[in-house]
Structure 1
Amino acid sequence: MNKHLFWTASFITASVVLASCGNSAKQAQQNPADMAVPVVTTQVSKEHITGIDTYPATIVPINEVELRGEVGGYITAIFIKDGQQVNKGQKLYEIDRSKYQAAYNQASANVAIAKANLDKAQKDADRYNKLAQQDAIAKQRVDYALTDLNNAKSQLAAAQAQADNARVDLNKSIIVAPFAGTIGISQVKLGALITPGSTLLNTISSDNPIAADIAIGQDEIPRFNRLRTAKTDSLFTLAFSDQSIYRYSGSIYTIDRAVDPQTGTIKIRLSFPNPQHALRAGMTANVRVLNNDTGEQVVIPYKAVTEQMGEYYVFVVNNNVVSQRNVKLGSRSADKIVVREGLKEGETIVVDGIQNLRDGSKITEGDANKQSQK
């Protein structure tokens, strides 16, 4: 009897213990989902922002020409130093002028002879015309004189054309700068023989103003068309790799004629003053363009933003419960970013601990780092 009671009591006690353990395990499984997640929050505020879009740029000359001789011969003089600044019309190279000078002298002499022949033919024609009026000479002789006069005029025109060509060749034996700019490293030395239209002498490029080329998406073309006529200063600035900003602002020089069908972009050429010649063709920089984010804007820490399938979200707090909200982002500056749509000033958002949240999670202000380490 006592043994039976002991066994029954033991069975009841064990059942109670097992039930208690089962309930504790069940509660342990349910509590984490219902527990408040410790996070760090901040209040959404507005700040004065200078919104800037950045585009990789290459510095290029507005004008650049390869210098080649139009006449052949040996280089007899080089008037400039490599890398020198030159003015329009300044002498750069001289090609042996002796044969071109001789050809011009010969052509000039032929012009003088043709003028003398024309003068004689004119006098003969005048004299024969007077005699013809007095019936003192045959009409045929007058016709011959007029023919000689016309031939003399044609010979003078031909001689003058030859002299003009000879003068052009003589002038072309001196290579001059077609515009003001910087000359490159000479590709020929004194005494070098050059071939007309073939031998490269040097390259000259303009450098004040100088240009910066960027590529923009075709959807940005309307915006840049508006910027082209904008009167606002400092719309376009240059930033270098060391984060320094070029002292002069630029303007749109031209927009290319067509969109590249392979990339969907179009080239924009910007013009910048370059009086100190600090910008050199071939340099790389970033063009900074003011955008619509300039002014008082809603700004949040960038780390508060999450991305899902190309969409951006933040966790907004209301009565210690978070809701995931889609936002439209603007310009980013350091560790902050502009929110163009989706948030209002004064709302509270989560900035730390977002990796532990989902839509509808309960939160509490705490050490989000400890929670993330569990």
Structure 2
Amino acid sequence: MLWKARYLVVLVALTLALSGCGSKEDTAGKKGAEVITKPVAVVTVATGEVTRVNTITGKVAASMEVNVVPKLGGKVADVQVQVGDRVQAGQVLVRLDTTEIAAQVKQAEAGLETARANLEQTEQVKQAVQVAKAQHQAAKDNVERMEYLYGQGAISQAQLDGARTQFQVAEAQLAQAEANLKVADVARAQVLQAEAALELARAQLNNSVITAPIGGVISARYIDPGEMAAPTMPVVTIVQVDTVAIEASVTEDYINRLQVGQEVKTTIKVVQEEPFAGKVASVSPAADARTSTYTVKINVPNPEGALKPGMTAAIPLALESQRDVLVVPVQAVLDRGGKKVVFVVESGVARQREVTVGLEGEKEVAITAGLFAGEQVVVSGQHLLSDGDRVTLPEGGKS
């Protein structure tokens, strides 16, 4: 009886062990049968417009740039601006030392006073000429009268000779007065010359103060107090950046797509992702001989000064467009087996769908067959999908 009891205990233990193994296998089988889903993001297919563009690259430049060059050389006494300062037209930028020029002005003023004093004496010369002419005429008339009387025997030879001598004296005095009058004309010319010299000296004095020819921002400063300024070297550079000009080189394939006054969009990503509105200001009528490209300038308002000369700009040129077509993001379309396919989510399952694509733009592509408006197309996670995979959508159901 004892061995039977031991056999029964072993049998029960074996049964329990086998029962436990079967339970573990069932649990493992259930776990292996769990459904795996893949996270994706989708967009809803809708009608829209697709535009094919060619993007050209340009550089931001100031709408106007002026190198301020002094009209005369000299030692710099004062520089009143720094790089980045905003200036108005006519504002003082640099002052030159005026010690020598001021002395030249005083010298010219003194020369003019002397010339004018000499000229004043010409009035007396004019009066002397008039007196000499009157005396000359009187002496001449007297000689003629004396010659008549002498012919009548009314006067002596001595009296006639005396009249003739008086006429010769009057004639000599008139010649001298007229010669003096010519000297007066020279004095008048000297006054004009002195006035011109003074005007030039004063202009030089005014030129010692260098002012801004335009309003704008100081982009460069080339000189400091104590240095020598020269008429061939700029002292500062002023740029106008309230409106900037984007300069781009365009090939012959696209140049006729741009016209003066045309509104265009340009993107400067270092400033912002949103495009800036601009307008074509000029289109070169001839290609550059070296690059065979045409220079185009596009003016863009820059009231906040965020656009800086030298920045890179992207300018999309519309080449072709399709309207009222089904549109999906370009990343939704995959190449599989030489076919264009997308994944459409239907009741939580991704279905591979072959499609026919039309015009492809920078971000979107037109679908001409294979999709319907309102369907949900996968745009994120599609590269990891196979037909029939179950998927989960992010909160909200769309990307």
The 8 Å contact of residues 71 and 195 in structure 1, kept in 2 or not, is answered as: yes
Query: Of 316, 331, 347, which residue of structure 1 is paired with 2:361?
Result: 331
CA distance in 1, matches of 2:215, 2:228: 27
Q: Which amino acid aligns with 2:251?
A: G
Residue 187 of structure 1 is matched in structure 2 by 222
The 8 Å contact of residues 50 and 360 in structure 2, kept in 1 or not, is answered as: no
The change in CA–CA distance for 1:111 and 1:179 in structure 2 (over 3 A counts) is same
Residues 179-199 of structure 1 deviation map (CA, whole Å, 9 limit, x = unaligned): 11111343322222334424x
CA distance in 2, matches of 1:257, 1:64: 23
1:294-373 mapped onto 2 (5 Å cutoff): 296=324, 299=327, 302=330, 329=359, 331-333=361-363, 336-337=364-365, 345=368, 347-348=369-370, 367=387
CA distance in 1, matches of 2:316, 2:222: 37
Residue 182 of structure 2 is matched in structure 1 by 147
TM-score, normalised relative to structure 1: 0.64
TM-score, normalised relative to structure 2: 0.60
Residue 148 of structure 2 is matched in structure 1 by none
The 8 Å contact of residues 237 and 289 in structure 1, kept in 2 or not, is answered as: no
Percent of aligned pairs with the same amino acid: 24
Residue 88 of structure 2 is matched in structure 1 by 87
Residue 60 of structure 1 is matched in structure 2 by 61
Q: Which amino acid aligns with 2:361?
A: S
Q: Secondary structure at the match of 1:332?
A: coil
Q: Which amino acid aligns with 2:301?
A: P
Q: Which amino acid aligns with 1:78?
A: V
1:34-73 mapped onto 2 (5 Å cutoff): 46-49=47-50, 53-73=54-74
CA distance in 1, matches of 2:357, 2:106: 85
The 8 Å contact of residues 49 and 295 in structure 1, kept in 2 or not, is answered as: yes
The change in CA–CA distance for 1:134 and 1:239 in structure 2 (over 3 A counts) is same
The change in CA–CA distance for 1:203 and 1:242 in structure 2 (over 3 A counts) is closer
Query: Of 240, 243, 250, which residue of structure 2 is paired with 1:216?
Result: 250
Query: Of 220, 225, 241, which residue of structure 2 is paired with 1:207?
Result: 241
CA distance in 2, matches of 1:305, 1:122: 106
The change in CA–CA distance for 1:55 and 1:132 in structure 2 (over 3 A counts) is same
Give the RMSD, CA atoms, in angstroms. Answer: 3.9
After TM superposition, give the deviation of residue 289 of structure 1 in Å.
Answer: 5.0
The change in CA–CA distance for 1:124 and 1:368 in structure 2 (over 3 A counts) is farther
Residue 112 of structure 2 is matched in structure 1 by 111
Unmatched segments (≥5 aa) in structure 2:
1-44, 138-169, 342-353, 372-376, 379-385, 390-399
After TM superposition, give the deviation of residue 89 of structure 1 in Å.
Answer: 0.9
Answering whether residue 351 of structure 2 is matched by residue 285 of structure 1, we say: no
The 8 Å contact of residues 129 and 178 in structure 2, kept in 1 or not, is answered as: no
Q: How many pairs align? A: 287
Q: Secondary structure at the match of 1:209?
A: strand
Q: Secondary structure at the match of 2:298?
A: strand
Residues 236-281 of structure 1 deviation map (CA, whole Å, 9 limit, x = unaligned): 34432365236x6221222234212343311111112222222222
After TM superposition, give the deviation of residue 87 of structure 1 in Å.
Answer: 0.6
Answering whether residue 192 of structure 2 is matched by residue 172 of structure 1, we say: no
The 8 Å contact of residues 266 and 313 in structure 2, kept in 1 or not, is answered as: no
Residue 304 of structure 2 is matched in structure 1 by 276
Residue 259 of structure 1 is matched in structure 2 by 287
Residue 28 of structure 1 is matched in structure 2 by none
After TM superposition, give the deviation of residue 60 of structure 1 in Å.
Answer: 0.8
Residue 26 of structure 1 is matched in structure 2 by none
CA distance in 1, matches of 2:388, 2:98: 85
After TM superposition, give the deviation of residue 286 of structure 1 in Å.
Answer: 2.0
Between 97-106 and 47-56, the greater mean CA deviation after superposition: 47-56
After TM superposition, give the deviation of residue 295 of structure 1 in Å.
Answer: 5.3
The 8 Å contact of residues 239 and 287 in structure 1, kept in 2 or not, is answered as: no
The 8 Å contact of residues 264 and 280 in structure 2, kept in 1 or not, is answered as: no
The change in CA–CA distance for 1:330 and 1:126 in structure 2 (over 3 A counts) is farther
CA distance in 2, matches of 1:326, 1:337: 7
Between 267-276 and 91-100, the greater mean CA deviation after superposition: 267-276
CA distance in 1, matches of 2:131, 2:53: 89
CA distance in 2, matches of 1:122, 1:295: 93
Q: Secondary structure at the match of 1:88?
A: coil
